[in-house]
Chains A and B, each alone.
Chain A
Amino acid sequence: GAGVSQTPSNKVTEKGKYVELRCDPISGHTALYWYRQSLGQGPEFLIYFQGTGAADDSGLPNDRFFAVRPEGSVSTLKIQRTERGDSAVYLCASSPTSGQPQHFGDGTRLSIL
């Protein structure tokens, strides 16, 4: 389809493991955002890319979290040494450029046991 695609849709793993979450934005969208959403809360900003570079990563909670977008399209959010508190829905969004309305993917529901 033409929308934002996120994989996997669900991920269950054990504490301490490494996970990668993938986002395929809408074709031609240069801005890509990662958010984390917990139950009853709005999406919490993590990082955004304008093209290939991370324009702002101030929302990443600590150095266990890292994201890349090497070719300016697909992005991967990487979490090392996962903790139970990392359990949440991870949302990706893209927009034609920064500051414009965003289109969200369905999210990845991450559960750390």
Chain B
Amino acid sequence: RKEVEQDPGPFNVPEGATVAFNCTYSNSASQSFFWYRQDCRKEPKLLMSVYSSGNEDGRFTAQLNRASQYISLLIRDSKLSDSATYLCVVNLGGGSYIPTFGRGTSLIVHP
């Protein structure tokens, strides 16, 4: 089992739709979690950190479920410009600061 797993997609949604991605992690000692966005042939860019209580940034909501060991990203009112690959990142903890990336979930928003 991979340490961090994501459905690669693609998720194909119309503008204005709400879409959600999940990311599961295997190490229960994991301590910090992030979502990054990566456009084609570009570098990953931080979208948002994921806090235990859940957090929201505009149209984006991130949640953490420690019991089931997954994080989620919800995008409301999708825009064409949201089309990208969304990478989840888990710092495995236990004294390790190695960020482990999922393979990413591809989102395509169409008119």
Contacts and interface: CB of A to CB of B under 8 A. Distances in A.
Contacts of B43: 91, 104-107
Nearest to A41: B103
A25 B64 CA distance: 30
A102 B46 contact: yes
A44 B46 contact: no
Interface string A19-35: 00000000000010101
Contact of B87 (A42, A56, A58, A99): A42
B97 A31 contact: yes
A56 B96 contact: yes
A101 interface: yes
Contacts of A66: none
Interface residues of B, number: 23
A45 B103 contact: no
B46 A101 contact: yes
Interface in A49-100: 50, 55-56, 58-59, 91, 98-99
B85 to A, nearest CB: 9
A99 B91 contact: yes
A40 interface: yes
Contact of B42 (A50, A55, A102, A106): A106
B103 A42 contact: yes
B99 A40 contact: no
Contacts of B54: none
A60 to B, nearest CB: 12
A83 B99 CA distance: 26
A8 interface: no
25 contacts: A33-B99, A41-B104, A42-B102, A42-B103, A42-B104, A43-B44, A44-B101, A45-B98, A45-B99, A45-B100, A45-B101, A56-B98, A58-B98, A59-B98, A91-B43, A98-B97, A99-B32, A99-B97, A101-B34, A102-B99, A103-B46, A104-B43, A104-B44, A105-B43, A106-B42
Question: What 9 pairs between A and B have smallest CB-CB spacing?
Answer: A42-B101, A98-B97, A104-B43, A42-B103, A101-B46, A99-B97, A43-B101, A41-B103, A104-B44
